[in-house]
Protein backbone atom coordinates (compact mmCIF):
# COMPACT_ATOMS: atom_id res chain seq x y z
CA UNK A 1 0.00 0.00 0.00
CA UNK A 2 1.41 3.42 -0.87
CA UNK A 3 1.31 6.36 1.51
CA UNK A 4 -0.94 8.15 -0.98
CA UNK A 5 -3.50 5.43 -0.40
CA UNK A 6 -3.49 5.82 3.34
CA UNK A 7 -3.37 8.89 5.46
CA UNK A 8 0.17 9.40 6.65
CA UNK A 9 -0.99 11.00 9.89
CA UNK A 10 0.50 9.39 12.95
CA UNK A 11 -2.24 7.91 15.09
CA UNK A 12 -1.69 10.35 17.95
CA UNK A 13 -3.18 13.00 15.69
CA UNK A 14 -6.45 11.10 15.58
CA UNK A 15 -6.15 9.98 11.97
CA UNK A 16 -9.09 8.05 10.61
CA UNK A 17 -7.47 6.07 7.82
CA UNK A 18 -10.91 5.22 6.39
CA UNK A 19 -11.49 8.80 5.40
CA UNK A 20 -8.03 9.66 4.23
CA UNK A 21 -8.05 8.45 0.68
CA UNK A 22 -9.28 11.57 -0.97
CA UNK A 23 -6.49 13.63 -2.50
CA UNK A 24 -7.03 17.35 -2.49
CA UNK A 25 -5.07 19.92 -4.47
CA UNK A 26 -4.16 22.88 -2.34
CA UNK A 27 -3.84 26.30 -3.95
CA UNK A 28 -0.22 26.39 -4.97
CA UNK A 29 0.98 29.87 -5.61
CA UNK A 30 -0.83 32.76 -4.03
CA UNK A 31 0.86 36.15 -3.77
CA UNK A 32 3.45 35.95 -1.03
CA UNK A 33 3.97 38.95 1.23
CA UNK A 34 7.66 38.06 1.55
CA UNK A 35 8.12 38.58 -2.16
CA UNK A 36 9.31 41.81 -3.67
CA UNK A 37 7.50 40.81 -6.86
CA UNK A 38 4.12 39.30 -7.55
CA UNK A 39 3.71 35.60 -8.18
CA UNK A 40 1.34 34.00 -10.66
CA UNK A 41 -2.02 33.26 -9.08
CA UNK A 42 -1.87 29.52 -9.59
CA UNK A 43 0.37 26.68 -10.68
CA UNK A 44 0.56 26.98 -14.39
CA UNK A 45 2.35 24.17 -16.12
CA UNK A 46 4.40 21.01 -15.92
CA UNK A 47 7.45 23.24 -15.75
CA UNK A 48 6.63 24.20 -12.18
CA UNK A 49 9.15 22.38 -9.97
CA UNK A 50 7.65 20.03 -7.43
CA UNK A 51 9.16 21.99 -4.57
CA UNK A 52 6.72 24.79 -5.33
CA UNK A 53 3.61 22.66 -5.36
CA UNK A 54 1.12 21.92 -2.63
CA UNK A 55 -0.62 19.02 -4.31
CA UNK A 56 -1.91 15.69 -3.10
CA UNK A 57 -2.97 16.77 0.37
CA UNK A 58 -5.31 14.17 1.83
CA UNK A 59 -8.53 15.38 3.39
CA UNK A 60 -7.56 14.25 6.85
CA UNK A 61 -4.20 15.90 6.56
CA UNK A 62 -5.79 19.05 5.28
CA UNK A 63 -7.86 19.03 8.47
CA UNK A 64 -4.71 18.71 10.53
CA UNK A 65 -3.15 21.58 8.59
CA UNK A 66 -6.16 23.75 9.35
CA UNK A 67 -5.55 23.17 13.05
CA UNK A 68 -1.87 24.13 12.86
CA UNK A 69 -0.31 27.61 12.99
CA UNK A 70 0.38 28.81 9.47
CA UNK A 71 2.73 31.38 7.93
CA UNK A 72 3.70 32.40 4.43
CA UNK A 73 6.61 30.34 3.15
CA UNK A 74 9.97 31.42 1.76
CA UNK A 75 9.55 29.46 -1.50
CA UNK A 76 6.39 27.35 -1.54
CA UNK A 77 3.40 29.23 -0.33
CA UNK A 78 2.78 27.98 3.18
CA UNK A 79 4.61 26.89 6.29
CA UNK A 80 2.82 24.85 8.98
CA UNK A 81 4.03 24.49 12.54
CA UNK A 82 3.97 20.85 13.56
CA UNK A 83 5.46 19.74 16.89
CA UNK A 84 6.96 23.21 17.22
CA UNK A 85 8.74 23.23 13.83
CA UNK A 86 7.87 24.78 10.47
CA UNK A 87 7.29 22.73 7.33
CA UNK A 88 6.00 23.38 3.83
CA UNK A 89 2.78 21.56 2.99
CA UNK A 90 4.52 18.98 0.82
CA UNK A 91 7.22 18.46 3.39
CA UNK A 92 4.73 18.13 6.25
CA UNK A 93 2.99 15.25 4.51
CA UNK A 94 6.36 13.59 4.05
CA UNK A 95 7.25 14.12 7.71
CA UNK A 96 4.00 12.49 8.77
CA UNK A 97 4.44 9.55 6.38
CA UNK A 98 8.00 9.03 7.52
CA UNK A 99 6.99 9.09 11.18
CA UNK A 100 4.36 6.51 10.51
CA UNK A 101 6.18 4.14 8.18
CA UNK A 102 9.94 4.34 8.58
CA UNK A 103 11.46 1.30 10.27
CA UNK A 104 14.96 1.94 11.53
CA UNK A 105 17.57 -0.81 11.56
CA UNK A 106 20.11 -0.98 14.35
CA UNK A 107 22.97 -0.38 11.95
CA UNK A 108 21.40 2.69 10.25
CA UNK A 109 23.31 5.94 10.15
CA UNK A 110 21.30 9.16 10.02
CA UNK A 111 22.96 12.41 8.99
CA UNK A 112 20.95 15.24 10.50
CA UNK A 113 21.11 18.97 9.79
CA UNK A 114 19.02 22.08 9.53
CA UNK A 115 18.97 23.21 5.90
CA UNK A 116 22.15 24.99 4.78
CA UNK A 117 24.36 23.68 7.56
CA UNK A 118 26.58 21.63 5.25
CA UNK A 119 24.35 18.62 4.59
CA UNK A 120 25.75 18.02 1.10
CA UNK A 121 29.31 18.01 2.43
CA UNK A 122 28.50 15.70 5.34
CA UNK A 123 26.70 13.25 3.06
CA UNK A 124 29.68 13.14 0.70
CA UNK A 125 32.18 12.60 3.51
CA UNK A 126 30.22 9.85 5.24
CA UNK A 127 29.50 8.11 1.94
CA UNK A 128 33.19 8.16 1.00
CA UNK A 129 34.27 7.13 4.49
CA UNK A 130 31.90 4.20 4.83
CA UNK A 131 32.53 2.93 1.28
CA UNK A 132 36.29 3.47 1.15
CA UNK A 133 37.13 -0.20 0.69
CA UNK A 134 34.72 -0.66 -2.17
CA UNK A 135 35.51 2.70 -3.77
CA UNK A 136 39.06 3.88 -3.13
CA UNK A 137 39.01 7.60 -3.73
CA UNK A 138 41.61 7.45 -6.51
CA UNK A 139 39.08 5.37 -8.46
CA UNK A 140 37.74 7.13 -11.57
CA UNK A 141 34.46 5.28 -11.03
CA UNK A 142 33.84 6.65 -7.56
CA UNK A 143 30.08 7.31 -7.32
CA UNK A 144 30.69 10.81 -5.98
CA UNK A 145 32.20 11.75 -9.34
CA UNK A 146 29.02 10.99 -11.21
CA UNK A 147 26.21 11.38 -8.65
CA UNK A 148 25.18 14.15 -6.31
CA UNK A 149 25.55 13.34 -2.59
CA UNK A 150 21.80 13.83 -2.10
CA UNK A 151 21.18 10.92 -4.46
CA UNK A 152 23.77 8.66 -2.85
CA UNK A 153 22.50 9.47 0.64
CA UNK A 154 18.80 10.29 0.27
CA UNK A 155 16.74 12.22 2.74
CA UNK A 156 14.30 9.97 4.55
CA UNK A 157 11.35 12.31 4.59
CA UNK A 158 12.20 14.49 1.57
CA UNK A 159 13.44 11.65 -0.60
CA UNK A 160 11.85 8.37 0.43
CA UNK A 161 8.45 9.46 1.74
CA UNK A 162 7.80 12.53 -0.39
CA UNK A 163 4.76 12.85 -2.66
CA UNK A 164 2.97 9.78 -1.37
CA UNK A 165 5.85 7.35 -1.71
CA UNK A 166 6.54 4.64 0.81
CA UNK A 167 10.28 4.29 0.80
CA UNK A 168 11.87 1.64 -1.37
CA UNK A 169 14.77 0.28 0.62
CA UNK A 170 15.56 -2.71 -1.58
CA UNK A 171 18.70 -1.18 -3.06
CA UNK A 172 20.24 -0.21 0.28
CA UNK A 173 23.05 -2.22 1.76
CA UNK A 174 23.90 -2.29 5.44
CA UNK A 175 24.72 0.04 7.08
CA UNK A 176 22.09 2.19 5.41
CA UNK A 177 22.95 5.89 5.13
CA UNK A 178 20.20 8.48 5.26
CA UNK A 179 19.91 12.22 5.54
CA UNK A 180 17.18 14.00 7.43
CA UNK A 181 16.26 17.50 8.53
CA UNK A 182 13.73 16.18 11.07
CA UNK A 183 13.93 17.85 14.47
CA UNK A 184 14.70 15.40 17.26
CA UNK A 185 11.16 15.53 18.60
CA UNK A 186 9.77 14.46 15.22
CA UNK A 187 12.02 11.48 14.59
CA UNK A 188 10.05 8.27 14.05
CA UNK A 189 9.73 6.14 17.19
CA UNK A 190 11.61 3.37 15.43
CA UNK A 191 14.65 5.66 15.28
CA UNK A 192 14.30 6.83 18.85
CA UNK A 193 13.96 3.26 20.09
CA UNK A 194 16.84 1.80 18.11
CA UNK A 195 20.58 2.05 18.72
CA UNK A 196 21.18 3.48 15.24
CA UNK A 197 23.67 6.32 15.08
CA UNK A 198 22.91 9.99 14.44
CA UNK A 199 25.46 12.51 13.23
CA UNK A 200 24.31 16.09 13.67
CA UNK A 201 26.11 18.84 11.79
CA UNK A 202 25.30 22.39 12.80
CA UNK A 203 26.52 25.73 11.50
CA UNK A 204 26.56 29.16 13.04
CA UNK A 205 23.15 30.81 12.61
CA UNK A 206 24.49 33.88 10.79
CA UNK A 207 26.03 31.95 7.89
CA UNK A 208 23.16 29.47 7.93
CA UNK A 209 20.66 32.28 7.54
CA UNK A 210 22.59 33.96 4.72
CA UNK A 211 22.99 30.64 2.94
CA UNK A 212 19.28 29.91 3.33
CA UNK A 213 18.35 33.34 2.00
CA UNK A 214 20.48 32.82 -1.11
CA UNK A 215 19.25 29.24 -1.58
CA UNK A 216 15.56 30.03 -1.30
CA UNK A 217 15.89 32.98 -3.66
CA UNK A 218 17.57 30.73 -6.20
CA UNK A 219 14.73 28.25 -5.89
CA UNK A 220 12.26 31.07 -6.44
CA UNK A 221 13.97 32.55 -9.46
CA UNK A 222 15.03 29.22 -10.99
CA UNK A 223 11.52 27.88 -10.53
CA UNK A 224 9.14 30.05 -12.44
CA UNK A 225 10.74 33.43 -11.92
CA UNK A 226 8.93 34.33 -8.72
CA UNK A 227 11.24 37.20 -7.76
CA UNK A 228 13.36 37.36 -4.67
CA UNK A 229 12.60 37.76 -0.96
CA UNK A 230 14.24 40.75 0.63
CA UNK A 231 16.98 40.14 3.18
CA UNK A 232 15.03 42.10 5.79
CA UNK A 233 11.78 40.15 5.41
CA UNK A 234 13.61 36.83 5.46
CA UNK A 235 15.63 37.92 8.49
CA UNK A 236 12.46 38.80 10.33
CA UNK A 237 11.07 35.32 9.65
CA UNK A 238 14.28 33.54 10.58
CA UNK A 239 14.65 35.38 13.88
CA UNK A 240 11.02 34.56 14.71
CA UNK A 241 11.87 30.92 14.07
CA UNK A 242 9.78 30.75 10.90
CA UNK A 243 12.16 29.00 8.52
CA UNK A 244 12.38 25.54 6.97
CA UNK A 245 12.55 23.10 9.89
CA UNK A 246 12.97 26.13 12.18
CA UNK A 247 13.22 27.53 14.77
CA UNK A 248 16.89 27.03 13.98
CA UNK A 249 17.92 27.27 17.64
CA UNK A 250 15.37 24.71 18.85
CA UNK A 251 16.49 22.28 16.16
CA UNK A 252 20.12 22.57 17.19
CA UNK A 253 19.30 22.39 20.88
CA UNK A 254 17.29 19.18 20.54
CA UNK A 255 20.29 17.31 19.14
CA UNK A 256 22.84 19.10 21.33
CA UNK A 257 21.04 17.91 24.47
CA UNK A 258 20.74 14.41 23.07
CA UNK A 259 24.45 14.32 22.19
CA UNK A 260 25.29 15.22 25.79
CA UNK A 261 22.99 12.55 27.18
CA UNK A 262 23.86 9.85 24.67
CA UNK A 263 27.30 10.55 23.21
CA UNK A 264 27.60 7.03 21.77
CA UNK A 265 24.39 7.56 19.88
CA UNK A 266 24.57 11.20 18.72
CA UNK A 267 27.71 12.88 17.48
CA UNK A 268 27.46 16.67 17.36
CA UNK A 269 29.73 18.39 14.82
CA UNK A 270 30.15 21.99 13.74
CA UNK A 271 30.66 23.16 10.14
CA UNK A 272 33.22 25.69 11.38
CA UNK A 273 35.30 22.97 13.07
CA UNK A 274 35.12 20.86 9.92
CA UNK A 275 36.52 23.76 7.92
CA UNK A 276 39.21 24.54 10.45
CA UNK A 277 40.34 21.04 11.33
CA UNK A 278 38.89 18.66 8.77
CA UNK A 279 41.21 15.78 9.59
CA UNK A 280 40.51 15.91 13.32
CA UNK A 281 36.77 16.03 12.74
CA UNK A 282 36.69 13.24 10.16
CA UNK A 283 38.83 11.01 12.35
CA UNK A 284 36.34 11.62 15.15
CA UNK A 285 33.47 10.88 12.79
CA UNK A 286 35.04 7.65 11.56
CA UNK A 287 35.63 6.47 15.12
CA UNK A 288 32.06 7.28 16.10
CA UNK A 289 30.77 5.33 13.10
CA UNK A 290 32.97 2.38 14.10
CA UNK A 291 35.02 2.63 10.92
CA UNK A 292 38.17 4.22 12.38
CA UNK A 293 41.05 5.01 10.05
CA UNK A 294 44.02 2.70 10.36
CA UNK A 295 47.32 4.43 10.88
CA UNK A 296 48.40 3.35 7.41
CA UNK A 297 45.26 4.91 5.94
CA UNK A 298 46.26 8.18 7.53
CA UNK A 299 49.79 7.98 6.24
CA UNK A 300 49.13 6.61 2.77
CA UNK A 301 46.70 9.39 1.84
CA UNK A 302 43.29 7.73 2.22
CA UNK A 303 42.03 10.36 4.66
CA UNK A 304 43.49 13.21 2.59
CA UNK A 305 41.94 11.71 -0.52
CA UNK A 306 38.47 11.67 1.02
CA UNK A 307 38.80 15.28 2.10
CA UNK A 308 39.92 16.28 -1.38
CA UNK A 309 37.20 14.28 -3.10
CA UNK A 310 34.55 15.90 -0.88
CA UNK A 311 35.95 19.41 -0.93
CA UNK A 312 33.81 22.29 -2.07
CA UNK A 313 36.21 22.94 -4.96
CA UNK A 314 36.06 19.40 -6.22
CA UNK A 315 32.34 18.67 -5.80
CA UNK A 316 31.13 22.03 -7.08
CA UNK A 317 33.19 21.71 -10.25
CA UNK A 318 31.99 18.26 -11.23
CA UNK A 319 29.85 18.19 -14.34
CA UNK A 320 27.05 16.32 -12.57
CA UNK A 321 26.79 19.01 -9.91
CA UNK A 322 26.87 21.82 -12.44
CA UNK A 323 24.13 20.46 -14.66
CA UNK A 324 22.00 17.91 -12.76
CA UNK A 325 18.89 18.36 -10.68
CA UNK A 326 16.88 16.47 -8.07
CA UNK A 327 13.65 14.78 -9.10
CA UNK A 328 11.80 17.50 -7.21
CA UNK A 329 13.41 20.20 -9.34
CA UNK A 330 16.22 21.70 -7.27
CA UNK A 331 19.35 22.17 -9.40
CA UNK A 332 22.36 20.49 -7.79
CA UNK A 333 24.34 23.68 -8.28
CA UNK A 334 22.09 25.50 -5.80
CA UNK A 335 23.66 23.35 -3.05
CA UNK A 336 27.06 24.92 -3.76
CA UNK A 337 27.64 28.63 -3.32
CA UNK A 338 30.78 29.76 -1.44
CA UNK A 339 31.30 27.14 1.24
CA UNK A 340 33.07 29.52 3.61
CA UNK A 341 32.88 30.54 7.23
CA UNK A 342 31.94 34.15 7.96
CA UNK A 343 30.20 35.13 4.72
CA UNK A 344 27.36 36.58 6.82
CA UNK A 345 29.39 39.68 7.51
CA UNK A 346 29.24 40.51 3.78
CA UNK A 347 25.45 40.62 3.90
CA UNK A 348 24.15 41.42 7.38
CA UNK A 349 24.15 44.80 9.08
CA UNK A 350 25.84 45.13 12.49
CA UNK A 351 22.35 45.31 14.00
CA UNK A 352 21.33 42.05 12.36
CA UNK A 353 24.50 40.36 13.56
CA UNK A 354 23.91 41.68 17.08
CA UNK A 355 20.35 40.38 17.03
CA UNK A 356 21.34 36.89 15.92
CA UNK A 357 24.14 36.83 18.49
CA UNK A 358 21.70 37.88 21.20
CA UNK A 359 19.19 35.17 20.33
CA UNK A 360 21.95 32.57 20.19
CA UNK A 361 23.21 33.66 23.57
CA UNK A 362 19.75 33.56 25.11
CA UNK A 363 18.81 30.21 23.62
CA UNK A 364 22.04 28.22 23.58
CA UNK A 365 24.74 29.57 25.85
CA UNK A 366 23.03 28.32 28.98
CA UNK A 367 23.43 24.80 27.60
CA UNK A 368 27.13 25.30 26.92
CA UNK A 369 26.76 25.67 23.15
CA UNK A 370 28.57 28.62 21.57
CA UNK A 371 29.50 29.65 18.02
P1 LIG B 1 27.01 28.75 1.46
O2 LIG B 1 25.69 29.14 0.91
O3 LIG B 1 27.40 29.54 2.65
O4 LIG B 1 28.08 28.75 0.44
P5 LIG B 1 23.42 22.26 2.65
O6 LIG B 1 24.32 21.25 2.02
O7 LIG B 1 23.01 21.91 4.04
O8 LIG B 1 22.31 22.61 1.74
O9 LIG B 1 24.32 23.54 2.87
C10 LIG B 1 24.75 24.32 1.76
C11 LIG B 1 25.93 25.13 2.22
O12 LIG B 1 27.07 24.26 2.32
C13 LIG B 1 26.30 26.20 1.20
O14 LIG B 1 26.90 27.24 1.96
C15 LIG B 1 27.29 25.45 0.34
O16 LIG B 1 28.11 26.27 -0.42
C17 LIG B 1 28.06 24.69 1.40
N18 LIG B 1 28.76 23.52 0.86
C19 LIG B 1 28.33 22.65 -0.08
N20 LIG B 1 29.24 21.72 -0.31
C21 LIG B 1 30.28 21.97 0.50
C22 LIG B 1 31.54 21.34 0.69
N23 LIG B 1 31.90 20.28 0.00
N24 LIG B 1 32.36 21.89 1.62
C25 LIG B 1 32.00 22.97 2.34
N26 LIG B 1 30.84 23.62 2.18
C27 LIG B 1 29.97 23.12 1.26
Q: What is the per-residue DSSP string for 121-177?
A: HHHHHHHHHHTTTTS-TT-TT-HHHHS-HHHHS-BIIIIISGGG-----TT--SSPE
Question: Any catalytic annotation for residue 181?
Answer: yes
> Band of the pLDDT at 37, cuts 50, 70, 90?
very low
Residue 211 CA, closest ligand 1 atom number: 2
Query: Residue 149: CB within 6 Å of ligand 1?
Result: no
Query: Residue 117: CB within 6 Å of ligand 1?
Result: yes
Query: Residue 258: CB within 6 Å of ligand 1?
Result: no
CA-nearest residue for atom 12, ligand 1, is 118
CA-nearest residue for atom 18, ligand 1, is 339
Distance 121 CA to ligand 1 centre (A): 7
Q: What is the pLDDT of residues 283-297, one digit of tens each?
A: 999 999 999 999 999
Query: Residue 310: CB within 6 Å of ligand 1?
Result: yes
Is residue 280 classed as helix, strand or coil in its secondary structure?
helix
Task: Select from 158, 159, 335, 342 the residue to mutate for testing ligand 1; criterion: most ligand atoms less than 8 Å from CB.
Answer: 335
Residue 338 CA, closest ligand 1 atom number: 4
> Band of the pLDDT at 35, cuts 50, 70, 90?
very low
**Distance between CA atoms of 349 and 351, rounded to whole angstroms?**
5
Residues whose CB is less than 8 angstroms from the CB of residue 31 and which lie 6 or more positions away in sequence, other chains included: 38, 39, 41
Query: Residue 148: CB within 6 Å of ligand 1?
Result: no
Give the ranges where the chain is alpha helix by DSSP (H): 59-67, 89-101, 119-130, 143-146, 149-152, 189-192, 205-224, 231-239, 248-261, 271-276, 278-288, 295-299, 302-309, 312-317, 319-323, 350-364
Residue 316 CA, closest ligand 1 atom number: 20
Residue 326: C-alpha distances to residues 66, 88, 147, 151, 162 (Å):
30, 18, 11, 8, 13
CA-nearest residue for atom 27, ligand 1, is 339
Residue 114 CA, closest ligand 1 atom number: 7
Count CB atoms within 10 A of the CB of residue 10.
Answer: 19
Active-site residue (options: 78, 87, 101, 181):
181
pTM, rounded to two decimals: 0.90
In this predicted structure, the answer to whether residue 19 has a pLDDT above a threshold of 70 is no
**Domain architecture of the chain: domains with CATH:** 11-97 (no CATH), 98-367 (3.40.50.300)
**Distance between CA atoms of 330 and 211, rounded to whole angstroms?**
15
Residues whose CB is less than 8 angstroms from the CB of residue 190 and which lie 6 or more positions away in sequence, other chains included: 102, 103, 104
Query: Residue 213: CB within 6 Å of ligand 1?
Result: no
Is residue 13 classed as helix, strand or coil in its secondary structure?
helix
Residue 311 CA, closest ligand 1 atom number: 23
Distance 312 CA to ligand 1 centre (A): 7
Distance 207 CA to ligand 1 centre (A): 10
Q: Strand 78-82 vs strand 70-72: parallel, antiparallel, or unpaired?
A: antiparallel
Nearest of 333, 330, 253 to residue 88 by alpha carbon: 330
Distance 316 CA to ligand 1 centre (A): 9
Q: What is the pLDDT of residues 236-287, one digit of tens each?
A: 999 999 999 999 999 999 999 999 999 999 999 999 999 999 999 999 999 9
CA-nearest residue for atom 5, ligand 1, is 116
In this predicted structure, the answer to whether residue 26 has a pLDDT above a threshold of 80 is no
> Band of the pLDDT at 129, cuts 50, 70, 90?
very high
What was the pLDDT predicted at 46?
Answer: 64
Q: What is the pLDDT of residues 328-365, one digit of tens each?
A: 899 999 999 999 999 999 999 999 999 999 999 999 99
> Band of the pLDDT at 14, cuts 50, 70, 90?
very low
Query: Residue 179: CB within 6 Å of ligand 1?
Result: no
What was the pLDDT predicted at 260?
Answer: 97
Distance 122 CA to ligand 1 centre (A): 9
Task: Select from 111, 337, 348 the residue to mutate for testing ligand 1; criterion: most ligand atoms less than 8 Å from CB.
Answer: 337
Question: Mean pLDDT over residues 183-212, rounded?
Answer: 98
Residue 120 CA, closest ligand 1 atom number: 6
Q: What is the pLDDT of residues 207-240, one digit of tens each?
A: 999 999 999 999 999 888 889 999 999 999 999 9
The number of angstroms, rounded, from the C-alpha of 219 to the middle of its chain's C-alpha atoms is 15
In this predicted structure, the answer to whether residue 39 has a pLDDT above a threshold of 80 is no
In this predicted structure, the answer to whether residue 51 has a pLDDT above a threshold of 80 is yes
Amino acid sequence: MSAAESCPLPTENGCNTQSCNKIIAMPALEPCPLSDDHQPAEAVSDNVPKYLLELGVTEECKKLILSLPIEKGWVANHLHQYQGFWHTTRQLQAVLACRRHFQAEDSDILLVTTPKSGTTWLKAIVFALMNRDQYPNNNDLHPLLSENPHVLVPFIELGLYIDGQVGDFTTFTSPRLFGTHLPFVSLPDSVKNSPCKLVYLCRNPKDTFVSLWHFTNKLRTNGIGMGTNSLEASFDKFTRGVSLYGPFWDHVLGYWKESLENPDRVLFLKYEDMKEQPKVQVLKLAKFLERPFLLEEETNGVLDGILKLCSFENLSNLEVNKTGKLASGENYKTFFRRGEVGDAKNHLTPQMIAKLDRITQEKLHGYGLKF
